[in-house]
Amino acid sequence: MSVTFAQGFSAAGVVAGISSKAGKQDLAFVVNNGPLDAAAGVFTSNRFCAAPVQWSRAAVADGHLKAVVLNSGGANACTGQPGFEQSQATAHEAAGLLGVADSKIAVCSTGLIGELLPLDHVLAGVHDAYNHLDDGEHGGSDAAHAIMTTDTKPKTVALEGSGYRIGGMVKGSGMIAPQLATMLCVITTDAVVTPGAMQAALSAGTSVTFNRIDTDGCMSTNDTVLLLASGASGVEPDPDEFNDLVRQACASLARQIVGDGEGASHDIRISIHGATSEDAALACGRAIAASNLFKCAVSGNDPNWGRILSSLGTVPLDVAPFDPTRVDVDVNGVRICQGGGTGRDRSEVDMTPREVGVDVYLNAGDAEATVWTDDLTHEYVHINADYES
């Protein structure tokens, strides 16, 4: 159901001829039919942020958006003033169709960096998508397909609150790393919420979900997560429940990104336990998630705890205090490292499941954190070396 699961939203996905893949759906349109048009957003912190990020960050600043236009087939990043004018023209076209100000339209793009979009195709695609807007399963599904690039499957979420709903879609497969770990994500709700409450929920939710996945250590220029509220349910949610559902939606979509990481054969959960603080735990988790050597070992089905410890050992003492001789590591439940040295034999670890669980016990405190990554495979290199440029 994707973004149309929440009441008050319609969506479409069309073949606009932006992507080099003939016949691929490559333009999505998501419209908030109200009565509210409340919105919040978080964006990449990359200093070379793309034109659509610059446009959309300004558009959502007042807490209101009527619609979002998203395209695959081109990132419109590092394209200077002409690129910014393309995002502006796209918003203008959608605004004209909907009878709202240009600043009520967010624009998101994904694809190759450094090339302008075929603007005439984009604008014609906006018209076509407008004519195909649908508030049912079809519209939401088409939109989720249209934003895919190297993704192998659409990624959506649908959650029921107490009298209101949250839906969402995301795309992301490569160039995934904090901050912010996704490419394009739109989450919708029919709850009656204020932009301020939405921004708080979204910032808190993304910080422990999208910002804790890392498929390849590479931060994108185009990452965007938008939360739109139509208020169509008429229900004012309990704030705690709403925050929790937004976090769950982010967690589900982030997990789906890891599950579809470029070339991945294993999804790797890395949980750090017994740290002196959550930040310390996070730093340790990120260090392991960034290790190409460990990620290669997992793709070869070896629970190589030496590569876990050698990555853990790069975290400075002042960031994460712990005693190396007290560190234990379980992989898929088997304690293969005990007290910083050899534990049970690694042949006892069953590495056949797609999901691999790494639990590191620092035995230094009570804080913990979990990050997710993928293994590093031949296929990842193939996708990112042997593509057509």
Q: Site size for its own copies, by CB under 8 A? A: 64
The closest alpha carbon to 285, from 360, 210, 337, belongs to 360
Q: Tell how many helices (H) and how many strands (E) occur in the chain.
A: 10, 16
Question: Considering the rule CB under 8 A, would residue 389 count as an interface residue with its own copies?
Answer: yes
Q: How many residues does the chain have?
A: 389
Question: Considering the rule CB under 8 A, would residue 175 count as an interface residue with its own copies?
Answer: yes
Nearer to its own copies, 206 or 291 (CB): 291
Nearer to its own copies, 240 or 318 (CB): 318
> Looking only at residues 57 through 76 of this chain, which bind its own copies when binding is defined by CB under 8 A?
75
For its own copies, which residue of 133, 337, 358, 367 counts as binding (CB under 8 A)? 337
Segment contacting its own copies by CB under 8 A, of 14-22, 77-85, 158-166, 246-254: 77-85
Segment contacting its own copies by CB under 8 A, of 9-17, 25-33, 109-117, 272-280: 109-117
Quote the least distance from Cβ 80 to its own copies, whole Å: 4
For its own copies, which residue of 88, 203, 276, 384 counts as binding (CB under 8 A)? 384
Nearer to its own copies, 241 or 323 (CB): 323
Question: Considering the rule CB under 8 A, would residue 132 count as an interface residue with its own copies?
Answer: no
Nearer to its own copies, 130 or 294 (CB): 294
Q: What is the x/- site pattern for its own copies, positions 218-257, by CB under 8 A?
A: xxxx------------------------------------
Nearer to its own copies, 35 or 313 (CB): 313
Q: What is the x/- site pattern for its own copies, positions 296-315, by CB under 8 A?
A: xx-xx-x-xxxx-xxxxxxx
The closest alpha carbon to 304, from 291, 314, 287, belongs to 291
The catalytic residues are: 182
User: Residue 246 carries which side chain, given as an amino acid letter?
Assistant: V
Interface with its own copies (CB under 8 A):
45-49, 75, 77-80, 83, 112-115, 174-175, 216-221, 290-293, 296-297, 299-300, 302, 304-307, 309-315, 317, 324-325, 337, 339-342, 346, 376-378, 380-387, 389
Binding site for substrate, residues?
149, 171, 182, 262, 384, 389
